[in-house]
Each structure stands twice: as C-alpha cells, then as structure tokens.
Structure 1
Amino acid sequence: MTDIAGTGRLAGRIALVTGASRGIGAAIARAYASEGAEMILTARTTGGLEEIDDEIRQISGKTSLLVPFDLKDFDAIDRLGAALYERYGRLDILVGNAGVLGTLSPLGHISPKEFQEVIDLNLTANWRLLRVMDPLLRQSEAGRAIFVSSGAARGPRAYWGTYAISKAALEMMVGIYAQEILQTKVRANIIDPGRARTRMRAKAYPGEDPMSLKTPDEIMAPFVALAEAGFAGNGEIVKAQ
C-alpha cells in the first residue's frame, strides 16, 4: 500500500466502488477514503474486501460497508440499491470499476458462454447499477457516476473481441445517460486508466515488464477529481495518463 495524504476533497460524500478488492478498485477505495469519503465496497471475495477495509481503517480511521457478491447476480444489485436507500437515502459517487478481460482470440473462437459472461459483467451489470443507483444519485447534491473503460473501446483491435465490444457499448451507455441527466445535478463520465500495473494488464500483455508501468495508486488524480462535487464535466472520456 502506498502512503496517501488526503485533503478532505470528498469529505461527507458516500461512494460505492465495484471490484474494490484489488488493483484499480482497491486504489480508488484508498484514494477516496483518504479524501474523507464514506466507502461502500463490493467484490466477489470477502477476504479481499476485508484486506482493503483494514487499509482504509489505517488511512481514515473509518470502517467501510463491505458487500461481497458477484455483479452477475443482477437481482443482488437491485437488493443493494434498496439497502443503500434504507441506510443512506442517497449516493454521491458511483464507480463502476469491476470488469473481466475474457479470452483474447479470433471472434469465431470465443464460446457463447464466455461471450455472455464478459458482456454480463462489463456491460449489463453496469447498466443494472446505473438503473438502480440513478434515483440515489439524484438525491445527492452532486451525484457523480464514473465508469472505467479502455482504449480498446475506441477503434477495432484484432483479437480483443468481447472485451472491446463490451467497453465500446459501455461508453455509449454512459454517453446516453450523460445526455439524459443534463438538467439534473448528476454527472456521468468515463475514465480510461491507460497502461497500469494490474492483473488484467499482465494477462493481456504477458511479455511486458510490469515495473515499466505506473501502479494503480499513481493514477488516482482523475478518479478523485471526477468524484468531487465541483466537477462539472459530463459525458467525457478522461485519460488517467
């Protein structure tokens, strides 16, 4: 863990981060906690969530609300939205970070089952989150929805098949939502993390030297900026590096 010194830019704001047990999601959780946010963290692994919660307690002295579940359980997303409404009555920051790479291969070699699993997590789960959390974001004085995409979404890239398709569709979805919320206090944007030292990156580029890449903690500036109440951008694709 990298030492983090925050300045309270997210003080009092309630943030939900998916895929928070490792990599970019865990870095977002640390960065937001250091800036004073109240954290709600989801991931499939309870142990991983407990580890990041331990780190957050060291950073801010606060405990997080941990919600271990698989985002492909769409009914559980609906239940989470209802539970957050009962507990908080609003949501200030939604970060749709969880994602899966899938197999990098010719389109015709991808099994229908794997294609659907990648679409379910990278696209449909984020739509279900947006659908359920939109009313909570509208209850905030400055609701902010942030989704993590990839350069693979922009322009055809051979063998990146399902992942690129899912991220391109995600960017279109967020762009449409951004147009629909123009007259509200909610803003929605995309962050492209670029080349970061993550397990997904290592899987996609097995011959790459990981030490040549920035760590997730080193690319958190735009994630914090887009979550601030004062950030006015909407429908933007922001590159982290």
Structure 2
Amino acid sequence: MTLSSDLTGRTAVVTGASRGIGYHIAKHLAASGAHVIAVARTVGGLEELDDEIRAEKTRGGKGEATLVPLDLADMEGIDRLGGAIHERWGKLDIMVANAGILGVISPIGHVEAKVFEKVMTINVTSTWRLIRSLDPLLRQSDAGRAILISSGAAHSARAFWGPYAASKAALEAMTRSWADETRNYPLRINAVDPGATRTAMRALAVPGEDPDTLPHPSEIAARITALASPELTRTGEIYQARHDRWVSYRMPE
C-alpha cells in the first residue's frame, strides 16, 4: 500500500500503547510526525514509549507523546479522555483502538461468567465507549482516520476461542456500521486483522509455537499505520496486515 506517511501536525489516540502492536503503532505514528496520545494501564510501558519517542526526536524526529494511564474498564475515564482532547486540541485526526484481551482458550461452556464479561467489556464495550467519546472530535478533522484492531478469529471461529472470536466479530460489525454512518464525512474507518504476530497475547494463546516464525510487532505496525494516511479512501473494510491486502465486506448501497 503506497500512501503518504507524513502525519506532521496530526493528533492520534492509541490504546494498548504500552506493549506489543500498540506500542509500535504509537512509535510509527510519532516517527511520522503525529502527536500521540498513548493510552494504557501500564505506566512503565508508557514511560518507555515516551523515552523512545523523545530519543527519536533528538535524532531529527518530529513526533511527541502525551501519556494517559487508563484502564479501559473505566468508562467514565474514556469519556474524560474525549473531553480533555477537546479542551486541548479541539479535534482528533487518528484513533487506533488496539487494546484487547484474550480471556481464556477453553470450551465455551466452561468459560467463567466473569472472564466472558471482562473480554466483552474490554474488547467491545470499551471500544464502543471510545467511539462515542471520540467520534465528534474525528468529525472535526479534515481527514479523520479510525483503525480498529480485529483478528482472524472473528471469521475462523475456531474451537475454544469462543469469547475472543465473538468479541472481535462484534468489533467488526461496529466498525462497518460506524463507517456507513459517516460515509459522507471525510472520515475513514477500517478494521485490521494483524495476523499471527510475536506478542505476549499470541504466546498465551499458542504456547507451543516458535515465536521466531512470526513477524515482529514493529513490522505489522508499520503496515497498519499506513491506514492513518490522509490519502486513504477506503472505509468500512477489513485490512489483513500480515498479507498486505484488503478483504472487502461491502456495505449495501
């Protein structure tokens, strides 16, 4: 995908930015000139990200970061995030809803209620709350871009992956509905399937797998951040980052 990577002067929210794919998406956005509002529970990971972005700036980089320690189960905290962005910037250019949890790999009938509810809270409800909080700000941008991180599990629905697969299928449905609602705005909204990647979540899900056979999160993040480009025209679709291709689920005309 060949799109402009210059994001100078643009503001981006990235959730789950303290590690894994989210960490590297935040780094790539900053390296492209964006001011990254990095959201995560883990303060140490956010501080490490900030150090990396600052170090890059001393080497000629343009990006900066604002750190927001926040548990996405805190719905009122997500609302406050939108309010704070409005007060400081008045708009938002990029939203990357990356944060998510696996839950357990288990027969669906054996999943504890509290585990199922937590997966839905973080992977679905908090994403909806984030959309609710940030949609008005994205509409104020001349080229708002929303990227929601999904998974191939949403379509494969493999045995024992029930709660996670269901949560990602719901996320994709929200993505497409939101995109259809905003098709007359300069806002482009897409979901991304990053594919199997060398992350802590992947190691938890498939403990016997050799991580060296998987792409590093930095490689996948570089492809995902292309969807933040003001030149992007697609909306309401799924992008497979590992294979660098679109999978179209066309909305009705």
Q: CA deviation at 1:195?
A: 1.4
Query: Which 5+ residue runs of structure 1 have no aligned equivalent?
Result: 1-6
Partners in 1 of 2:56 and 2:125 — Cα distance?
33
Partners in 2 of 1:91 and 1:127 — Cα distance?
17
User: What are the equivalent positions in structure 2 for 1:125-144 lying under 5 Å apart?
Assistant: 125-144=126-145
TM-score normalised according to structure 1 size: 0.95
Partners in 2 of 1:97 and 1:39 — Cα distance?
14
Residue of structure 1 equivalent to 2:18: 21
Q: Do the aligned partners of 1:33 and 1:60 also contact (CA within 8 Å) in 2?
A: no
2:53 counterpart of 1:52 = no
Residue of structure 1 equivalent to 2:162: 161
2:237 counterpart of 1:240 = no
Partners in 2 of 1:63 and 1:179 — Cα distance?
32
Q: Do the aligned partners of 1:30 and 1:59 also contact (CA within 8 Å) in 2?
A: no
Aligned residue for 2:156, secondary structure, equals coil
Residue of structure 2 equivalent to 1:42: 39
Q: Do the aligned partners of 1:146 and 1:188 also contact (CA within 8 Å) in 2?
A: yes
Q: CA deviation at 1:222?
A: 2.8
User: What are the equivalent positions in structure 2 for 1:185-224 lying under 5 Å apart?
Assistant: 185-224=186-225
Percent identity between the aligned chains? 55
**Which of structure 1's runs of 4+ aligned residues deviate more than 3 A?**
none
Partners in 2 of 1:76 and 1:128 — Cα distance?
10
Q: CA deviation at 1:60?
A: 2.7
2:75 counterpart of 1:78 = no
Partners in 1 of 2:34 and 2:176 — Cα distance?
26
Residue of structure 2 equivalent to 1:92: 93
Aligned residue for 1:220, secondary structure, equals helix
The amino acid across from 1:55 in the alignment is E
Aligned residue for 1:17, secondary structure, equals strand
Partners in 2 of 1:192 and 1:60 — Cα distance?
30
Q: Do the aligned partners of 1:222 and 1:238 also contact (CA within 8 Å) in 2?
A: no
Q: Do the aligned partners of 1:36 and 1:60 also contact (CA within 8 Å) in 2?
A: no
2:12 counterpart of 1:11 = no
Q: Do the aligned partners of 1:8 and 1:34 also contact (CA within 8 Å) in 2?
A: no
TM-score normalised according to structure 2 size: 0.91
Residue of structure 1 equivalent to 2:248: none
Q: CA deviation at 1:221?
A: 3.4
Partners in 2 of 1:220 and 1:231 — Cα distance?
17
Q: Give aligned pairs, total.
A: 235
Q: CA deviation at 1:64?
A: 1.0
Q: Do the aligned partners of 1:221 and 1:240 also contact (CA within 8 Å) in 2?
A: no
Q: Do the aligned partners of 2:147 and 2:190 also contact (CA within 8 Å) in 1?
A: yes
Q: Do the aligned partners of 2:34 and 2:64 also contact (CA within 8 Å) in 1?
A: no
2:29 counterpart of 1:32 = yes
The amino acid across from 1:10 in the alignment is L
Deviations along 1:184-227, one digit per CA (max 9) or x if unpaired, are 01110011110110000001110000011110111123322110
User: What are the equivalent positions in structure 2 for 1:147-186 lying under 5 Å apart?
Assistant: 147-186=148-187
Residue of structure 2 equivalent to 1:4: none
Query: How large is the Cα RMSD of the aligned pairs?
Result: 1.1
Residue of structure 1 equivalent to 2:247: none
Partners in 2 of 1:107 and 1:27 — Cα distance?
32
The amino acid across from 1:120 in the alignment is T
Partners in 1 of 2:85 and 2:30 — Cα distance?
18
2:106 counterpart of 1:105 = yes
Q: Do the aligned partners of 2:91 and 2:140 also contact (CA within 8 Å) in 1?
A: yes
